Homo-oligomer: A and B are copies of this chain.
Amino acid sequence: MEKNLQVKREFSKLVNGMKPSAIDAILKAIGDPEMISFGGGLPNPESFPVEDVKKIFNDLISTNGKKMLQYGSTEGLNTLALTLAKRMKDKMGVDCGPSQIIQTTGSQEALYILGKILANPGDYVISESPTYLGAITAFRASGVRMVGVEMDLHGMKIDSLRSTLKKFPNPKFMYVLPNFQNPTGISMSLERRKELLEVASENCITILEDDPYGSLRFSGTQLPPLKALDRNNNVIYLGTFSKVLAPGFRLGYTVAPEDIVEKMKMVKQALDLASSTISEFIADAYISGGYLDRWIPRVIEMYRGKRDVMLGALEEYLPQGVDFTRPDGGMFIWVTKKGANTDRMLEDAIRNKVLYVVGSEFYPENDNHESMRLNFTYCTDEKIIEGVKRLGKVFGKS
């Protein structure tokens, strides 16, 4: 007879130390049909090349159906690696071969894996402050500690970086988003990029360059990625298809020195064996068939319009004393009011049916409450205006 003894469950220290993401709570509030959400980091569904994907899928399923449905290799589809290597060279000025590329289940997986292979639990890494929430989550899940370095409108401040390195002289890597940073929308100037590489070289620090939005520039001049400026093989570059094809594919890629790719492959094998072969085949055809280059200008045009609508509304409806960034691309605007506490304001915002992500979530130390992140790509223009009006009211009372 089986006894009726329920297991008293113990969880690991790691998971007991984790808390559900703020984004998750926001996703729940989105359920309300009257809610206007600037919260998620979602691309606009109108930016998905549905007809192209349909055509590509149907071509491929007839010619490559069985390969497309089979297990792929852990590092990803070789033809896609070749296609990406060529594109990195042509569009970014980055010289690399297919063996320096690994495809991952979104670039989130690459962040997680890199946190695991480059640092031991308890080690620290340096990031911009604020920085991408998903990177904080990924690195923390491996017990890595993060130290944030102050930014200005040109990116991470180099003098602050130097003094941080005095206090924390041996970080395992630096994590930066040079283009239209998440959450601030700020881009690192060319000079700052060069200075950052110099400091990294002097201190022998690997740089992790996350570039999800790089090809979504609406204004200003395109700047070379750190990876293109790097002569010391110090930079790991992360790209993704989530913002230029569709997030549903869960496909990202990392361009890195071969020794790093080899280690990433071992960990990826433990994590999920391989990414979706279907996604890899479609992404390859999407680039090499010229679809991507034909599509990106349409996404840029749509998002530039939405950015302008939001900036215009922010000008008009936010009270005096509220500042915001003016991004040249990407998906986010960062709104700051000196002395405000956006964590406390959120309840009132939800009552007024408008959502944002509280700024404190993006600080590794959770110690700054004056800002909020607004996404401008997801909502219709009408909702952007109405949502900013509502925000204006909330700020008025703050």
Q: A interface vs B, CB < 8 Å?
A: 1-15, 18-21, 24, 27, 40, 42-43, 45-46, 48, 50, 53-54, 57-58, 61, 65-74, 104-106, 108-109, 112, 116-120, 134, 137-138, 140-141, 172, 194, 197-198, 200-202, 204-206, 229, 231-234, 242, 246-250, 257, 259-260, 262-263, 265-267, 269-279
Q: Which of B229, B231, B248, B266 contacts A70 (CB 8 A)?
A: B248
Do residues A205 and B272 form an inter-chain contact, with CB atoms below 8 A? no
Assembly CA distance A231 to B2 (angstroms): 8
The chain B residue with its CB closest to the CB of A378 is B70
Beyond A20-B266, A43-B70, A108-B273, list 17 extra A-B contacts (CB 8 Å): A2-B198, A6-B232, A11-B263, A14-B116, A14-B117, A15-B117, A15-B267, A20-B265, A21-B269, A45-B67, A48-B66, A48-B69, A50-B69, A54-B61, A108-B270, A109-B271, A137-B269
Among A4, A73, A105, chain B packs the most CB atoms within 10 A around the CB of A105
> Within 8 Å CB of A15, what residues of B?
116-117, 263, 266-267
Assembly CA distance A297 to B262 (angstroms): 40
Assembly CA distance A75 to B58 (angstroms): 29
Assembly CA distance A58 to B229 (angstroms): 44
On whether A269 and B5 interact (CB within 8 A), knowing A15-B117, A71-B247, A72-B248, the answer reads: no
The chain B residue with its CB closest to the CB of A12 is B120
Do residues A50 and B73 form an inter-chain contact, with CB atoms below 8 A? no
| Chain copies in the assembled complex | 2
- Top 9 A-B pairs, shortest CB-CB distance: A69-B246, A248-B277, A141-B270, A45-B66, A69-B248, A50-B65, A105-B272, A15-B117, A48-B69
Do residues A119 and B12 form an inter-chain contact, with CB atoms below 8 A? yes
The chain B residue with its CB closest to the CB of A270 is B141
Assembly CA distance A69 to B251 (angstroms): 12
Do residues B270 and A271 form an inter-chain contact, with CB atoms below 8 A? no
CB-defined A-B contacts under 8 Å, sample of 22: A2-B198, A2-B229, A8-B204, A11-B118, A15-B267, A18-B267, A19-B266, A20-B266, A40-B71, A45-B70, A69-B246, A70-B247, A105-B271, A108-B272, A109-B271, A109-B272, A112-B271, A138-B271, A250-B275, A276-B278, A278-B278, A278-B279
Q: Closest CB-CB distance, A320 to chain B, in whole Å?
A: 36
> Within 8 Å CB of A43, what residues of B?
70
> Within 8 Å CB of A105, what residues of B?
105, 250, 271-272, 275
Assembly CA distance A234 to B198 (angstroms): 55
> Within 8 Å CB of A137, what residues of B?
269-270
Q: Closest CB-CB distance, A93 to chain B, in whole Å?
A: 16
Assembly CA distance A9 to B119 (angstroms): 11
Assembly CA distance A73 to B46 (angstroms): 19
Q: Closest CB-CB distance, A229 to chain B, in whole Å?
A: 8
